[in-house]
Amino acid sequence: METFIQLVVDGLSTGSIYAALALAIVLVNQATGLINFAQGGLAVLSAYIAYAFVQAGLPLLAAVLLAIVLSFCLGALVERFLMRRFERGDPDTAVVVTIGLLTLVTGIVAVLWGYNNLQFPSLFPLSSVHVLGAVVSVRSLATTVTIVAIMALLQLLFLRTKLGLALRAVADNPASSALSGLPVGRLLMVGWGLAAALGAVAGALVGPQLTLTPGMLDGALVYALAAVILGGLDSPIGAVAAAWGIGVLENLVAVYVPLIGHDLKIAVPFALIFVILLLRPQGLFGRKVVVRV
């Protein structure tokens, strides 16, 4: 029983890493209607910026807050001077541009800081506590609580605030939103800025657990995309629940299903995606879109 609880706890901890990135992807999709494959690269860049501030002598919390502000500005500038040229064209072209942006950002980070593993300091204590016989690190616990708080704030933003409703309206139909008087360009900049700021939070939470490298979130990005598809592109709660589910399921299958083991456990979430997409294409928590003809 203790082994089972430990696997579940470790799975939730790993799932929180995927969830941090998945929330940023959901935010961009809700604000622009796009899937941003560059989100992982922007989060890594933000983590390196915070690391540079720490190396310059700033306290860690101040460095992270400053990196979040700069990331917001960077995200808004990316939308204004790059993505806006493609947002009203073919959506597939815009997605390809985000993939190119991911490659560009990763290359810039590698040129500036190199490929050596760097140790990013943790915002939370490194001690551990015992819960039902399982060992839980305080850092993982605090990361999970932070993810839950961000998820609740995003849910409130999109469902209970005028800004959230305006962002959703622009993502759903930019032309009609413009005719209704909404400042479409500024709202798109805000959407990208918020997503980049959230990516900075994700980088600060994940950096101490993975060590800082230009490609540290490449694997997590794949799982985050899987979580977003499973949970629903328009549901912060669904993305987090799916990310945790993937983390826990991977751990349990690797130990309790010898045929799969650690080598094949990566295939489990993607097999699950095929099944879910066949039964419920909008994801477990996503809304079904109905088009009147």
Mean pLDDT by groups of 10 residues along the chain of 293 residues: 79 83 82 81 91 93 94 92 80 85 91 90 83 78 86 85 86 81 87 88 83 84 84 83 87 81 75 78 67 54
Instruction: Provide the b/e sequence for 67-84 (b: ≥16 CB within 10 Å).
Output: bbebbbebbbebbbebbb
The tokens describing 47, both together, are 């983590």
Helix (H) or strand (E) holding 275: helix 267-279
Which pLDDT belongs to residue 286?
66
Helix (H) or strand (E) holding 129: strand 128-131
Other C-beta atoms closer than 10 Å to the C-beta of 40 total: 29
At 180 the three-state DSSP class reads coil
d(CA 10, CA 251) in angstroms, rounded, equals 8
pTM: 0.84
Which pLDDT belongs to residue 288?
64
